[in-house]
Chains A and B, each alone.
Chain A
Amino acid sequence: MKTFFNDLYKKANKGPWPLIITVGLMVIGSITVYQSPRSLGAFLTLMLCPMMIYFLKINTKVKIFMGLLLAIVIIPVLGIRNIFYLEVIFQMAVFAALALGLNIVIGMAGLLDLGYVAFYAVGAYSWAIFGSKQLSLLHSIPGAAPAGAEFSLSPSYFWLFLFLGVGLAALAGILLGLPVLRLRGDYLAIVTLGFGEVIRVLALNLDKPINLTNGPQGITPIQRPPLPPGFILEPIRSLLTPIVGHVPTDAEFYNVFFYLLALVVILIAIAVATRLEDSRIGRAWAAIREDETAAIAMGIPLVRMKLAAFAAGASFAGCMGVLYAANRTFVSPETFSFLQSIGVLTMVILGGLGSIPGVIFGAGAVVILNIQVLQNFSLYLSALRQSDAVIPIINFAWKDLSNQLDPAKYQKLVFGIILVVMMIFRPEGLIPAERRKRELVEDKE
């Protein structure tokens, strides 16, 4: 089986094949997605495209060109035609950034953080509180907002908060890390889990004594940054109208805008992660992960390096939090549950601890599984429920199936199975991390 795939990979990687495969996938994917808006197969075909661009041997300039074409032309156009895919891709981007951040903490430095989503919450709530009317509601009861409350900041401050979110989350990482990073690995895991819960419970209950978070109802509306001015937007709008078959609305432009912004954050995150990994800091993290005692004997200050890992990982989540709050125009404590932390952990484990392409793949796979495969399955089951179909041998009528059985709600089952199976059969992940090979003088001789 394995050799079969290896052979296939080798054959596909020769001569003109890589280019034919990628261009083919891109064309077929684009057309099928354009034609059948909710087909999972079509979407997966399109999503295979970036993977092929990454894995196959193609001239780097051609790779970049195709990547850009896909990312900033094809996907936005398809996304305006059919908003659902853009939502899936946006979520993939958000979780990829979170997974990249968590990967620094777990994959590179070997610290199991089970409360990672807390840093995401710090970022999201920082813009939610300052980018909404919440500051003028501090002394009112949740749900009983007085009329005429004002937004406290102009929407352009979003850009400032994108950076502030990075800083605040990093600060939270350091504040948490200072007392607990001396702990042994398994204790650290439980303490970070506790921290995650503390943040969630605070978000849930800090509607008194002053109403900072609006409690379980969450904060809304949260402002979005202004779209580009009309003289840029209008030509694009009229250009796209015949292609997508309707006049693109501002809401659709916002989705593209947030998608592109998330893409930029991802690219920065990838650059930061790869550059840190292959530097003095990244090597120190790896050394700590491999053997703390030996690392400290080599002069690596353990606590300071672990704090750096915590802060770096947290900062990715903080930035994405701000972005997420603006995209949804709504935040509530529910988004920041333990389930989310484990979801991100599952992405990292599935893709491969410490492997940057791995965790991006993991994020994509888990998001598709969650919001496409499981949801399609749910839709399929509810269709069956409405029908008169019967399972032959056991004589079970589908319409008797419990309404509680909604696969889309069984994320924990999926995460649980992935975690256990990966740990037992493939702890290094589907795309394992590799150390960079250096061109050493000795090899040339």
Chain B
Amino acid sequence: MSLLQTIDVVKRFGGLIAVNKINFSIEQGTIASIIGPNGAGKTTFFNSLTGIYKPEEGQILFNGQSLIGLRPDQVSTRGISRTFQNIRLFGNMTVIENIIVGMHTQLKQGATDALFRTKKFHEEEKEAENRASQLMEYVGLKNVGNQLARNLPYGAQRRIEIARAIAANPTLLLLDEPTAGMNPNETADAIKLFRHIRDDKGITILLIEHDMRVVMGISEHISVMDYGEKIAEGTPKDIRNNQRVIEAYLGREAAKLRD
């Protein structure tokens, strides 16, 4: 059984069909990508998976259970964590706090524990803090724990967003254009990090990417979207040689370059 499977998912905005009958699946422990030109419906598809949008038709199964109708926080509790295309950190909170917010569903303390500062509270807070520090180092950052997230450079913010996402102990990690705006060195580091996350923590990764080098270098499985539809899928090698992909995706991009 696939970890995540979508069956004929449709998402419309008024007359516009943003996602049209997408059938998609991802196996446990793989790194898969969705690629496609701008406006192909990739992010809308992500938002449909995570409950931000409610698809009009179709089924989404995660570990065999339907995600349709769940709120984003409920989807998160089921074990799907994500990052955003345009980084969405909690700017006025410290780095450590950002990561601890990622553990929200893991922490057990209630209001009374917080008010009376019970032993349970102190232990849990200390543990969360330590784990957050570890996660910060895990994504390659040091000595920034007490800084406000908005004061960090771009690349570091991307890393913190990933640390925050893995803090939730997800089974599936959704990354929305995680290397956008990075230079080649940073991109190479990021690719290493994604692999490491999968190998080390066993987290399945699905990413949306624009950068073909990233996608081809890291993915074990690629799906291609265009105008809301899935036009191809397979291994990087299959995709590279797929005539329709070259026409729809590369062709149009090339045409854009010519203009």
Interface residues of A (CB under 8 A from B): 271-272, 275-276, 278-284, 286-287, 290-291, 293-302, 308, 435-438, 440-443
Contact = CB atoms under 8 A, between A and B. Distances in A.
B170 to A, nearest CB: 10
Contact of A298 (B101, B113, B137, B142): B101
Interface string B193-236: 00000000000000000000000000000000000000000000
Given A301-B71, A441-B133, A294 B84 contact: yes
Nearest to A308: B111
B36 to A, nearest CB: 22
B110 to A, nearest CB: 8
A337 B69 CA distance: 42
The 7 closest A-B pairs by CB, nearest first: A279-B114, A299-B76, A290-B90, A294-B88, A299-B105, A296-B72, A440-B145
- Residue from A275, A279, A280, A296 having most chain B Cβ neighbours under 10 A: A280
Interface string B78-94: 00011010001111111
- Residue from A284, A286, A287, A298 having most chain B Cβ neighbours under 10 A: A298
B148 A276 contact: no
Interface in B28-74: 50, 52, 71-73
A280 B96 contact: no
A237 B99 CA distance: 57
Interface residues of B, number: 45
A278 B145 CA distance: 16
A294 B93 CA distance: 13
Contacts of B129: 438, 440
B146 A437 contact: yes
Contact of B104 (A271, A276, A278, A280): A280
Contacts of B93: 283, 286-287, 290, 435
A279 B109 contact: yes
Nearest to A293: B88
Contacts of A442: 133, 136-137, 142-143, 145
A298 B71 CA distance: 11
A296 B81 CA distance: 11
B77 interface: yes
A283 B88 contact: no
B192 interface: no
A283 B100 CA distance: 8
- Residue from B50, B81, B114, B133 having most chain A Cβ neighbours under 10 A: B114
B117 A275 contact: yes
Interface string B122-142: 000100011001001100001
A425 to B, nearest CB: 19
Interface of B: 50, 52, 71-73, 76-77, 81-82, 84, 88-94, 96-97, 100-102, 104-105, 107, 109, 111, 113-115, 117, 121, 125, 129-130, 133, 136-137, 142-143, 145-146, 148, 164, 168
Contacts of B148: 435
Contacts of B125: 279
Contacts of B145: 438, 440, 442-443
A443 B100 CA distance: 18
Given A442-B143, A443-B143, A280 B73 contact: no
B92 A286 contact: yes
A119 to B, nearest CB: 18
Contact of A299 (B77, B89, B111, B133): B77
A88 to B, nearest CB: 31
B73 A287 contact: no
B88 A291 contact: yes
A76 to B, nearest CB: 29
A443 B145 CA distance: 9
6 contacts: A276-B115, A280-B109, A294-B89, A297-B76, A299-B168, A435-B97
Given A286-B90, A298-B168, A300-B104, A440 B146 contact: yes
Contacts of A308: 111
Nearest to A283: B101
Given A299-B105, A301-B73, A435 B114 contact: no
